[in-house]
Amino acid sequence: MKILPELKGPADLRALPIPALTELAAEIREAICDQISRSGGHLAPNLGVVELTIALHYVFDFSHDRLLFDVGHQCYPHKLLTGRTRLLPKLRQRDGMAGFPEPRESAYDLFAVGHAGTAISTAVGMARGDMLNGEGWAPETPGGRRVVSLIGDASIVNGVAMEGLNNAGTLARQFLVVLNDNGMSIAKPQGAVAAYFDRVRLSHGYGEFKRAAKDLARRVPGGALIADLYHRMGEMSKAMMSEDAWFEHFGLVTIGPIDGHDIPALIDTLSEVKHFERPMVLHVKTVKGKGFKPAEGDPCGMHSPSAFKIIEDDLVSEGCRVELKKGGRSFTGAFGEAMIELMQRDPKVVTCTAAMPDGTGLNKVMPQFPDRTWDTGICESHALDMMAGLAKTGWKPFFAVYSTFLQRAFDQCFQEAALQGLPVRLCLDRAGLVGGDGAVHHGFCDISLLASLPKAVLMAALDEPSLKAALAFMASYDAGLSAVRYPRDSVSTMFAEVPCPPFELGRARALLEAPEPDLAVLGYGVMAIEAMDAVRSLRDEYSVSVYDARFAKPVDAALLKSLLGRGVPIVTVEDHSLRGGFGACVLEACNEHGLDTRLLTRLGLPDSWIYQGERREQLAEAGLDSAAIARTIRAVLDAPRPEQTKPDGAAASTASTPNSGATVSVRGRMTPR
């Protein structure tokens, strides 16, 4: 009889005998592999923490104690252990299990987290809050709450994590940081800290340390309590427990590394450290992708795969391989190839990413340009400043980053790039709605952040030729910061046979231009494709022009004057927040040039959170799919039109004054062609 289907929560887990937990771990791995093969999702990071998560829930009661996740994509085993197995079949879908911790889903999830480096700091805050509330654990208050932060996938090198460690060392109470050290980030970890952990794992002293610690523990009267070891054995045992004492500099006692797949050893260790009254780091060594050979062999490629098929193959030494289900050509893939072409043409172009070579497409670039391409690890702020330094020395830096992670480097965009007038170039993948990753990863505020920076130029790509043209423009733009955004989606082939004109500063591109349009749609980036589909569904009713806006800053003021000066209503469409987005930039430009903003209708993301699901579902929910755009066009053209004024302020011939309240009739429907 299987264990997992009968497991209703951690209380049931703690009722199991320890030998049964190995079978439970196997069932959890099987369930995760089976589901991700169907739907896609974060595979390798979750397979690596199965035993660790079981042990944490076996020792602690997180219905009362605090468990905070860093890099939330390692939470699937936690969710299965906290009564959410029923949600797994709809992983990352609208009514199923979120791919990240989600407080709406369970009280066991304290924060919705999808960005690295935050758990230690939020855990410090909860530890302090519990103490102020008189609810913190101490020997004299055994019913208090303990606090555990689980950090992994090399996010310990993130600057925020370091700040959290620095402050955690000042706590005078129990506080446990579990460092899941799998030797990997989302990609291979980078930097001096990662190299330090490699040395610790490979050190001959590690094995000697483990043996010596076991011998010492056996000789301690009353058991192997870490508190006894620390306080009774003095400096020698401190050095043994803390290895090179790296975390000791932050004021945290360090234990390990220990085997993160040895459930009995994990339970023994956690059962001891839970009684320790000082902030502590437990260094746990795990294998990313553990238990599934294709994921162990390729932890980067299997970090977050699309759906796949397992193929038995005697020619493969591991006994099986996986075949990923293919979708259309992605913007990410198109970007990687476009960067290769650009770097071949221009030897001054350099590029970097922050732990996302696969996710941004730079994994294709790195082998060809190893001296001009860098992965900095999970540190967007550093990456942006490094790019500013490269720009200052005459290079042409392109920073490939998810839109949602750009937020972490905004201060550097301001201070070290824009303020200095340096031409740092931002390539914003995952802009707009991102599908299954949900609200934590939506790229909904890059325009509003960057548009405030003087001389910044903001663009969006329509398709692959458009993306290439935008990158070529950015390579030649030296007056300040520039950015191009594109979604997590397949590139459209709608205009594949049409020559793509080069980008000209502040100029839109006509995709469908009617001689005397009833209305014009300005689509920003891929939303122009949705607009084209909408307009084609209305071609027998109205005459509508469609433009690829290309620029949010500066917008095409000449086009706005031409359209609004003729009384043509405009609908703007973007997969960005309406607040501060492309439509807001158009609205500001109209106001600046004295144009009638009553003829402007803006479509964009609502002032609310949109959760996981298919990108098509999310667009429909936001009113941004082609059907919704068509409804908006029809509503605008069927509504009474406000009287118009000419750009010079004189009243149009259809009304005496712009504020008289009179209206002009809506243009009649066209005769069906």
Active site residues: 288, 380, 408
Bin 30: left if φ > 0, else alpha if -120 < ψ < 50, else beta.
alpha
Are 564 and 596 in contact, with CB atoms under 8 Å apart? yes
- Residues 6+ positions from 479 with CB-CB distance below 8 Å: 421, 423, 455, 457
The rounded distance, in Å, linking the Cα atoms of 588 and 450 is: 15
In contact, 127 and 35? CB cutoff 8 Å = no
Please list the alpha-helical segments (H only) found in 486-645: 527-537, 557-565, 582-592, 615-621, 626-638
Residue 148 φ/ψ, nearest 5 degrees: -130, 130
What does the H/E/C string look like for 82-117? CCCHHHHHHCCCCCCCCCCCCCCCCCCCCCCCCCCC
Q: How far apart (Å, rounded) are the C-alpha atoms in residues 405 and 442?
A: 10
Q: How far apart are CA 36 and CA 39, in angstroms?
A: 5
- 157 φ/ψ sector (left φ>0, alpha ψ -120 to 50, else beta): alpha
AA letter at 270: L
Nearest Cα residue to 427 out of 496, 367, 364, 338:
338
Q: Give the torsion through C-alpha atoms of 38, 44, 48, 53, to 10 deg.
A: -50
Q: How far apart are CA 401 and CA 369, in angstroms?
A: 18
Interhelix angle 204-219/192-202, nearest 10 degrees: 60
Q: What are phi and psi of 548, to 5 degrees?
A: -85, 105
Residue whose entry in the numeric block shows the structure tokens 């610790």: 200
Q: How far apart are CA 130 and CA 147, in angstroms?
A: 9
For residue 188, report the phi and psi dihedrals to the nearest 5 degrees: -60, 125
Could you give the CA distance from residue 622 to residue 486 in angstroms, rounded to a whole number? 18
Residue 604 φ/ψ, nearest 5 degrees: -170, -170
> In sequence order, which residues have a C-beta less than 8 Å from that of residue 292 and are 6 or more positions away?
29, 33, 43, 47, 302
